[in-house]
Amino acid sequence: MTETPPTLLWLRHDLRLADNPALHAAADGPVLPVYILDDAAAGRWAPGGAHRWWLHHSLAALAAALERAGAPLLLLRGEAATLIPRLAAATGARTVQAGRLYAPWARARDEAVAKALEAEGRTLALHNSGLLVEPERIRTQQGKPYAVYTPFSRAVMALGDPPPPIPAPGRLKGVKHPCQGEKLAGLGLLPRQPDWAAAFPEYWTPGEDGAGARLRDFVDGIAEGYDRARDFPGEDGTSRLSPHLHWGEISPRQAWHAAGGIGDTTARQTFRKELVWREFAHHVLWHNPALPEQPLRAEYAKFPYQPDPALLRAWQRGQTGYPIVDAGMRQLWRHGWMHNRVRMIVGSLLVKHLLQPWWDGAAWFWDTLVDGDLANNSLNWQWIAGSGVDAAPYFRIYNPIMQGEKFDAGGQYVREFVPELAKLPDRWLHRPWEAPAEVLRGAGVALGRTYPNPVVDHEAGRARALAALRSLKGVE
């Protein structure tokens, strides 16, 4: 009897066993799971520092799960366009199963791999493992890609529930590795300065089990009132599923169907719309590959940004003098994550008050966010900059004082991440420069020494941003 040839399972951003269509397609016969760290192909979009910390621990969890299932994970480092065809030839695999990717560099790499495999009579089979709907499937009535979220959301919602998740396979039939793989530690994913990520494990549990636990905790306890609570950074009111979705430790189909258990109808719909916003980001990136690097509104290519390394550094370090902004930037550094409401506030301050290029903010987020997805990161920064599709108008400039007073009125968030202001009364917490001298002394705050004065006056920064906008022709 002729022995069934093995199938290569090329894992990328689908680091899970359950609801993994590529694994499901490969599980009928011998399977060789492989992960390749391919920084060369990714170029500037190779995983950032926080990404790499997460990836290390996610791969450890995945390797353990595959080992228990009977198909040990092969880890490699190098150019996948070379290694995948070589591995297929060495094992006799006729098919390579993989989850589909949407970043421009990944699409180009998949085309190269497919071409090399086809030359040898082999096939690269790509599956939708990371989205509810493939980006090219949703079109306007005119047959064009969507450029505005609301009608896109309606179109996705009109499709109804996605197919139910596929259960994890039972026992897998592994194959002997045809080459010496890398040890996980040898991939060099952990930060060289471990103190930076020291608090990450207190906040995150990478891997499929951690993703499932977080989803259950959200649905069972946090989701009630999600539509309101998600705006308040001092509360545990968000799902915090974004890094798990980014790395594919859980699928959007699993999240969508689990949301059916949320009794609060408004909260359930709000959460699902957040999943659809993620879909929209990938839809826009697919149809606009230059999204991470160029403004989608061409007129913004001439926007008069004023790059200033000192201002950028103050923002990165959480030393802008605006407490809600500084709390967000310090949360980012400590947890590798930032509350979504605060992301909008810090982005607005950087791009508008400080006139720093949006791509500098995006680059910092890319390196420090555990959930720094290329589609979401790019779309959201262009949204706040006013240069993207469905963008916030440039004249919509977040007031960091009012935002702090509205969404962190009791100061829980600022006091946690900006402890030098912790003793200030609520009245002055978000505007310490206006506090009477005796109040500052009583709280142990010395402006300019223990905490900075604002790097720019709000009204002056707002006026400068609007003047810069008016300098562009054709921008409303």
Residue 473 has pLDDT above 80, yes or no: no
- What residue numbers does the annotated binding site cover? 226, 238-242, 271, 371-373
Binned at pLDDT 50, 70 and 90, residue 280 comes out as very high
Distance CA 36, CA 214 (A): 27
**Domains and their CATH numbers in the chain:** 7-128 (3.40.50.620), 130-166+207-287 (1.25.40.80), 298-470 (1.10.579.10)
pLDDT at position 435 is 98
pLDDT at position 193 is 82
3-state secondary structure of 21: helix
Of residues 145, 163, 134, the one with CA closest to residue 24: 163
Residue 1 has pLDDT above 50, yes or no: no
Contact 89, 12 (CB under 8 A): no
pLDDT at position 69 is 97
Residue 78 has pLDDT above 80, yes or no: yes
Q: Per DSSP, what are the bridge partners of residue 8? A: 32, 96
- What residue numbers does the annotated binding site for FAD cover? 226, 238-242, 271, 371-373
Q: What is the mean pLDDT of residues 207-218?
A: 97
Residue 2 has pLDDT above 60, yes or no: no
pLDDT at position 476 is 52
pLDDT at position 391 is 66
φ, ψ of residue 379 to 5 degrees: the values are: -60, -45
Binned at pLDDT 50, 70 and 90, residue 474 comes out as low
Q: What is the mean pLDDT of residues 58-81?
A: 98
Residue bearing tokens 């929209």: 280
pLDDT at position 285 is 97
Q: What is the mean pLDDT of residues 317-337?
A: 98
Q: What is the mean pLDDT of residues 290-294?
A: 96
Binned at pLDDT 50, 70 and 90, residue 414 comes out as very high
pLDDT per residue over 186-200, tens digit each? 999 999 887 899 999
User: Percent of the chain at pLDDT above 90?
Assistant: 92
Q: What is the mean pLDDT of residues 211-238?
A: 94
pLDDT at position 215 is 97
Binned at pLDDT 50, 70 and 90, residue 3 comes out as confident
Residues 6 or more apart from 85 whose CB is under 8 A from it? 113, 116, 117, 120, 122
Q: What is the mean pLDDT of residues 30-40?
A: 97
Residue 58 has pLDDT above 90, yes or no: yes
pLDDT at position 146 is 95
CB atoms within 10 A of CB 164: 11
CB atoms within 10 A of CB 370: 27
Q: Which of 106-110, 136-140, 153-157, 386-390 has the weakest average pLDDT?
A: 386-390
Residues 6 or more apart from 127 whose CB is under 8 A from it? 21, 22, 25, 97, 98, 99, 100
pLDDT per residue over 447-466, tens digit each? 999 999 999 999 999 999 99
Q: What is the mean pLDDT of residues 77-89?
A: 97
pLDDT per residue over 309-326, tens digit each? 999 999 999 999 999 999
HSE on the CB side for 363, CA within 13 Å?
10
Distance CA 28, CA 128 (A): 19
pLDDT per residue over 152-204, tens digit each? 999 999 999 999 999 999 999 999 998 999 999 999 999 988 789 999 999 99
Q: What is the mean pLDDT of residues 106-133?
A: 97
Of residues 389, 377, 393, 136, the one with CA closest to residue 278: 377
Distance CA 141, CA 151 (A): 11
Q: Which amino acid is at 319?
A: Q
Q: What is the mean pLDDT of residues 103-107?
A: 97
Higher pLDDT among residues 392 and 269, named by residue: 269
